Structure 1
Amino acid sequence: MAPVLGYWKIRALAQPIRLLLAYTETEFEDRTYTTGPAPDFHEKSDWLPVKYTLGLKIPNLPYYIDGDIKITQTNAILYYLARKHNLCGQTEEERIEVDVLFNQVFDMRMANWEFISEKFVTLPDFPLYELLDIYLKLDPDCLKETHNLQELHRRFEELPTIKKYMASPKFIKSPLNWPGAKWSA
């Protein structure tokens, strides 16, 4: 049975997971849920009736079920998949570098970055690509002065398995976020 990724029918937090699964050519069921109407968006959503029926220790979205393995939280899922597919580095030094870069993606405080992805694909590339892609959708010129970020975005999209996934009907192009968010596109 194929693993199941559960999330809202948007990109947001699950997109880096989807990209990693596509990169590793992992067949999976992308189980998407819809929100209820405004203003609270949760009332009458199709997630609430199943939320406590999946055996998740912390019922939340996104979730990933791979046989007896049941995980919630984006980063926990990404770490699990990265370890499973050897995307965390080979040596302890590389693993530490990957951990630091992965966490840095969520801070985005550094002005310049010498990317490990120039050497090989690792865990931080998936959420970083998604973040850059969102920025580009919101402001197409936002990376014009950061050649290394432009190159990372371009190289990532040219990875054969990612390119194939993005061309497939499984790829969610939009919405980027759910309707109740402060921004969406």
Structure 2
Amino acid sequence: MPPYIITYFPVRGRCGAMRILMADQGVEWKEKVVVFDEWMKGDLKATCVFGQLPKFEDGDLVLYQSNAILRHLGRKHEAAGSDDKEAALIDMMNDGVEDLRLKYIKLIYQDYDTGKDQYIKDLPGHLSKFEAVLAKNKSGFLIGGKISFADYSLFEVLLNHLVLCSSCLDTFPALKSFVESMSARPGIKAFLDSDAYKKLPINGNGKQ
């Protein structure tokens, strides 16, 4: 199988979870890096379905929208649930992660200087929902007994929040254990330790 191709800016951003999934699943991918000046010329933007990156290529299949890409990878690599019920619950959890991600993005790009303290104060209320799901499931994953694309998404969002506030998981034992176990998976550990990962800023404006 030819490697996947990601076209994106030189940040972790919206590609963080899909890169972690691919690293964990042991599949190769190539990166086409788009610098901001090139993007502003508009030629590439005009070819994107929604005028946005990332762009993801799987052979002749071209996808946009990061969560659609993540779900596609989940289905291809048996990380999308064992039946329709699990698949629906995984979709639900991924949407919940996306809600938190959007709050984080709003903080980073709009409210960082004035809203960071309040965001961190409000964060336990958001994290508690995921804590409850993980604590109830007992498998170490959000849904069922096997890793899913929603787990990769949650893990990546939690990594970002630990940079924002290193103590944010201290009162959430299930989430803390989840991050530790995900970080220890060989493919993920190797990726997180790599220069390819470390050299990329989390966000495009340098705030984290």
Q: TM-score range by the shorter chain?
A: 0.7 to 0.9
Seen in structure 2, the aligned counterparts of structure 1 residues 110 and 167 have a Cα distance that, compared at 3 Å, is closer
Match of 1:93 among 85, 88, 93: 85
Counterpart for residue 71 of structure 1: 63
Write the letter of the residue equivalent to 2:170: K
Asked if 1:184 corresponds to 2:207, the answer is yes
Alignment of 1:122-133 (within 5 A): 122-133=148-159
Q: Is contact 1:89–1:98 with CA below 8 Å preserved after alignment? A: yes
- Residue 167 of structure 2 corresponds to 141
Contact 2:39–2:45 (CA<8 Å) still a contact in 1? no
Residue-by-residue CA offset, 1:145-176 (whole Å, 9 max, x unaligned) = 01111111111111111111122222245411
CA offset digits 1:85-124 (Å, max 9, x no partner): 1111111111111111111112344623323661321111
Match of residue 51 from structure 1:
44
- Number of equivalenced pairs: 172
Give SS of 1:71's match: strand
Deviations 1:37-64 (A, max 9, x none): xxxxxxxx223455158x5433421110
Mapped contact 1:56–1:70 kept (Cα < 8 A)? no
State yes or no: 1:83 paired with 2:99.
Answer: no
RMSD, matched Cα? 2.0
Q: 1:155 aligns with which of 154, 160, 181?
A: 181
Give the secondary structure class of the aligned counterpart of 2:155: helix
TM-score by length of 1: 0.83
Shift of 1:8: 1.2
Q: Shift of the alpha carbon at 1:74? A: 0.5
**Alignment partners' CA distance in 1, 2:25 and 2:176:** 23
- State TM-score, norm by structure 2: 0.75
AA aligned to 1:184 is: K
Equivalent position amino acid for 2:39 in 1 = W
The answer to whether the 8 A contact 1:52-1:59 is kept is: yes
What amino acid does structure 1 have at the position aligned with 2:23? A
Q: Any gaps of 5 or more consecutive residues in structure 1?
A: 36-44
1:104 corresponds to which residue? Answer: 96
Identity %: 25
Shift of 1:70: 0.4
| Counterpart in the other structure of 2:108 | none
SS in 1 for 2:94: helix
Contact preservation (8 Å) 1:98, 1:124: yes
Q: Which amino acid aligns with 1:136?
A: L
| Secondary structure, counterpart of 1:113 in structure 2 | helix
Instruction: Establish whether residue 169 from structure 1 lines up as the match of residue 195 from structure 2.
Output: yes
